[in-house]
Amino acid sequence: MTITRRSALLAGASLLAASALARSAAAFEGSFTDMLAGTEDFGVAVDAYVFGYSLVTMEYTRRIMTNVAAAEETRAPMGTLLKVRSYPDATYRDVTAPNADTLYTTAWLDVGDEPWVLHQPDMGDRYFLLPMLDGWTEVFAVPGSRTTGGGAKTFLITGPGWSGTVPDGMTQVKSPTSIVWLLGRIYCTGTKEDYAAVHALQDAFKLQPLSTWGSDFTPPAGTVDPSVDMKTPTRDQVNALTSTEFFTVLADLMKRNPPTAADAPEVARFAAIGLEPGKDLDASRISAVWDKLMPEFGYKKIMLHFISRDGDMKRENGWAFTTVAGNYGTNYIQRALVTAIGLGANKAQDAIYPTSLKPSLLESYDGAKNYTLTFAKGQLPPVKGFWSLTMYDEQMFFVANPINRYSMSLRTNPTYETDGSLVIHIQNTSPGPDKEANWLPAPTGKFHLMLRLYWPDENKPSIIDGSWTIPGVVKA
């Protein structure tokens, strides 16, 4: 199966699909609503679908990513740390919108029966973050450079209802759900020496159940379930479920991954369709008339939020991004949208991913043309971590090029203009020896761009409050 990082992180390929889907959703919604006008339970079911979309998608993602006997590339058994050792090159096709900035250290946990212990080694001044997502995709804790600093720490990850004693030397982080996805990222320059340094840090992490702490622990081999579809993309599997199938899975998941107290008014409405927390689904309440049609309507409603005037997507000079990710409260439609186009997204305080699919509404990026992105003096992306600009082809994969450069950032040592501005040359052929340090190679055909801002500065100017604006990419 191809696991998309924007099924594991917010990315552009899904944004492209979302835009097309959303444009068709408005017409679909009008005709379909007319057909089912006056069907109150149908409206409740749509709302319940939007509400539960994140939890069901997380579960299907977990099943696929952990359905192996031992760690391998992008998958590892439950409770096993997956350590990504190197950045992909242009031949890599397993993950869309890959990055060449951070190496991943991730794991899926079930903390419902007992807590798990995560030991983080001394990271020094190296940038890192260890976001932990609950089953509803809420980032409930983010140990890392921004929040806890680089010193060695030991975290006790507890599940809902746990009331034991926290051992000395441990910091408790409370997960609202049994499902936990640790999605750690460690900055790496990509040189041979820095790879070795990051590998040593990855190997110094420890993850094990509390009951085994203090003793050597080797994660048991995983159990492979042959019934799990390992080829069909996660989103396609979820979208193919009927109403009955979807709500059956959701009802089962809510037994160990309960909604929050703030969700109570919304969840109370779902009893009308036989969906109540802690109980099996009463499938007799699901109408056969809309059992297969409702999920399609619900998903297109989610996608419509992408272009809605009331939506949470921002657009600036050809770039699209959101600052509403990671924590959603009762904004269920935004939570579902980010799940669909960027599962695993960070909180805005940790990372924002502006994506540019085309320089204007009337044209696409074309490798036959030359472009520039100019940051005026003192107007580089305001971050406390780092920023980078990544080149992707139309399918959101890295682009093969003669200098093996897939992204640009300050670590590539670009040169500045005499006025202090930074000009990035985005084109297929070299801009010349004197400008090659600022060259982001493009393919011969269409391409897309992503600007990553890790640990955005919240002081003005800031992308978070809109006081810093991304400049547009222009033809050279």
Q: Where in the chain is the domain with CATH 2.60.120.1600?
A: 354-475
Q: Where in the chain is the domain with CATH 2.60.40.1610?
A: 68-212
Q: How confident is the model at residue 9 (pLDDT cuts 50, 70, 90)?
A: very low
pLDDT at 7 over 50: no
- d(C-alpha 387, C-alpha 381), whole Å: 7
Q: Which of 236, 242, 308 is nearest to 49 (CA)?
A: 242
- pLDDT the model gives residue 5: 43
H or E segment and range at residue 52: helix 40-66
- d(C-alpha 17, C-alpha 361), whole Å: 16
- pLDDT the model gives residue 342: 86
183 Cβ neighbours under 8 A, 6+ residues apart? 8, 104, 106, 130, 131, 132, 133, 344
Q: Please state, for a pLDDT cut of 70, what percent of the chain lies above it.
A: 91
pLDDT at 426 over 90: yes
Higher per-residue confidence, 25 vs 153: 153
Q: How confident is the model at residue 95 (pLDDT cuts 50, 70, 90)?
A: low
Q: Which tokens belong to 345?
A: 């997204």
- pLDDT the model gives residue 36: 53
Pairing status of strand 179-187 against strand 102-110 = antiparallel
In contact, 464 and 321? CB cutoff 8 Å: no
- d(C-alpha 112, C-alpha 257), whole Å: 9
User: How far is residue 309 CA from its own chain's centroid?
Assistant: 23
Residues 283-337 have pLDDT tens digits of 999 988 888 889 999 999 999 998 887 778 899 999 999 999 999 999 999 999 9
Omega prior to 77 cis, within 30 of 0:
no
pLDDT at 11 over 60: no
User: 264-301 burial by CB neighbour count: b if 16+ within 10 A, else e?
Assistant: eeebeebeebbbebeeebebebbbeebbebbbebbbbb
Q: Which tokens belong to 247?
A: 């709500």
- pLDDT the model gives residue 74: 85
Beta strands in 188-283 (DSSP E): 206-209
Q: What is the DSSP string of 198-222?
A: HHHHHHH-EEEEGGGTTS---PPPP
Q: Which of 229, 8, 194 is nearest to 87 (CA)?
A: 194
**Number of other residues whose CB lies within 10 A of the CB of residue 338:** 26
- Give CA separation, 15 vs 22, 25, 385, in Å: 10, 15, 25
User: How far is residue 276 CA from its own chain's centroid?
Assistant: 28
- What CATH class has 354-475? mainly beta
Q: How confident is the model at residue 94 (pLDDT cuts 50, 70, 90)?
A: low
Residues 430-456 have pLDDT tens digits of 999 999 999 999 999 999 999 999 999
Where residue 149 falls (left for φ over 0; alpha for ψ -120 to 50; beta otherwise) is left
**Whole-structure pTM value:** 0.90
Residues 109-162 have pLDDT tens digits of 999 999 999 999 999 999 999 999 999 999 999 999 999 999 999 999 999 989
Mean confidence (pLDDT) of the chain: 91
- d(C-alpha 285, C-alpha 87), whole Å: 49
Q: Which backbone phi and psi does 40 adopt, to 5 degrees?
A: -60, -40
Residues 152-199 have pLDDT tens digits of 999 999 999 899 999 999 999 999 999 999 999 999 999 999 999 999
Residues 370-403 have pLDDT tens digits of 999 999 999 999 999 999 999 999 989 999 999 9
**Helices in 289-389 by DSSP H: which ranges?**
293-304, 332-342
CATH number attached to the domain at 68-212: 2.60.40.1610
